[in-house]
């Protein structure tokens, strides 16, 4: 069974569109994350939610808005997509307790044309 | 701010060779956690190991072994008798506390290519 699942896996869309990536985890974790991997493979955190509360909000454009309807889901909505938003977006989850392993989804490849 | 350095951008070896991937970190935390993740060509991020700062014992798991040296702030990863399936990007990461959460700071990754 998939532990952290995100959809869609591939997304090609035009500049200016609005799109969402959904994420669900069935691990019983209380903390979820969104990470972005750029074309050079560099991974950087975007957001972190704990029990539906926003904990970490790195410097990302306001066009990116995470939404956590419950602690098993963390969706990422992106408005007015730009070419520079093309990247792989990884959802992840962990237990809140110190040092717990963060498990990642399979990634969503977003291409803006 | 913490930092993770993987100085080897790309490594290429022939199958059955041993290879070591280097990781050097910086942190002011006294308690911290180090990780290695593997990203195969299919793109997913696979957890390999977690090590806390109080446990300096080396660990071996099959052909994989990890050498944690607090004195040199290094957490190196060795693959013994490499195989073609080991070809992937390997990331070292450091976990820090941010408020009530923790976040991972990743190194830039090492692309390992194992040739048949």
Q: Is B26 helix (H, G, I), strand (E, B) or coil?
A: strand
Contacts of A2 in chain B (CB under 8 A): none
Q: Which residue has the tokens 């962990």?
A: A94
Q: How would you classify residue B14: left for phi > 0, otherwise alpha for psi between -120 and 50, otherwise beta? A: beta
| Higher per-residue pLDDT: A91 or A71 | A91
| Higher per-residue pLDDT: B100 or A52 | A52
Q: Residues B20, B11: contact at Cβ < 8 Å?
A: no
pLDDT in tens, B36-82: 999 999 999 999 999 988 888 888 889 999 999 999 999 999 999 99
| Higher per-residue pLDDT: B112 or A59 | B112
pLDDT for B84 equals: 97
pLDDT for A25 equals: 96
Residue of B33, B93, B102, B106 for testing the chain A interface, max A β-carbons within 10 Å: B102
pLDDT in tens, A98-109: 667 899 999 999
pLDDT for A55 equals: 77
Which residue in chain A is spatially nearest to B46 when comparing CA positions? A104
pLDDT in tens, B10-34: 999 999 999 999 999 998 888 889 9
pLDDT in tens, A6-38: 999 999 999 999 999 999 999 999 889 999 999
Which one of A41, A42, A56 has the shortest CB-CB distance to B103? A56
Q: Please state, rounded to an integer, the average pLDDT across all residues of chain A.
A: 91
CA distance A43 to B91: 9
pLDDT for B89 equals: 98
Q: Torsion angle of alpha carbons A65, A5, B103, B20, nearest 10°?
A: -140
Provide φ and ψ at A106, rounded to 5°: -80, -5
pLDDT for residue A72 is more than 70 = yes
Residue of B93, B104, B112 for testing the chain A interface, max A β-carbons within 10 Å: B104
In B8-107, where does DSSP find H-type helix?
none
In this structure, how many other beta carbons lie within 10 angstroms of the beta carbon of residue A30? 19
pLDDT for A52 equals: 78
Q: Residues B92, B25: contact at Cβ < 8 Å?
A: yes
pLDDT in tens, A41-51: 999 999 888 87
pLDDT for residue B1 is more than 80 = no
pLDDT for residue B96 is more than 90 = no
| Higher per-residue pLDDT: B98 or B110 | B110
């Amino acid at each position: 069974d998939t532990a952290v699942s995100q959809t869609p896996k591939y997304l090609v869309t035009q500049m200016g569109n609005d799109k969402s990536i959904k994420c669900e985890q069935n691990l019983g974790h209380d903390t979820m994350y969104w990470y972005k991997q750029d074309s050079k493979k560099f991974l950087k955190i975007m957001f972190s939610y704990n029990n539906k509360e926003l904990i970490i909000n790195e410097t990302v454009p306001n066009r990116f808005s995470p939404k956590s309807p419950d602690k098993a889901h963390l969706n990422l909505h992106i408005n007015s997509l730009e070419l520079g938003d093309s990247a792989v977006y990884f959802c992840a989850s962990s237990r809140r307790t110190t040092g717990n392993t963060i498990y990642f989804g399979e990634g969503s490849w977003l291409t803006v044309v | 701010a913490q930092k993770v350095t993987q100085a080897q951008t790309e490594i290429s070896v022939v199958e059955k060779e041993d290879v070591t991937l280097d990781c050097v970190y910086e942190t002011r935390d006294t308690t911290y956690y180090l990780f290695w993740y593997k990203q195969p060509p299919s793109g997913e991020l696979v957890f390999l190991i977690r090590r806390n700062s109080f446990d300096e014992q080396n660990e071996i798991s099959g052909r994989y072994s990890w050498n944690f040296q607090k004195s040199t702030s290094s957490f190196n990863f060795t693959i013994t008798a490499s195989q073609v399936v080991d070809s992937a990007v390997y990331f070292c990461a450091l976990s820090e506390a941010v408020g009530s959460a923790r976040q991972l700071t990743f190194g830039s990754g090492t692309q390992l290519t194992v040739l048949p």
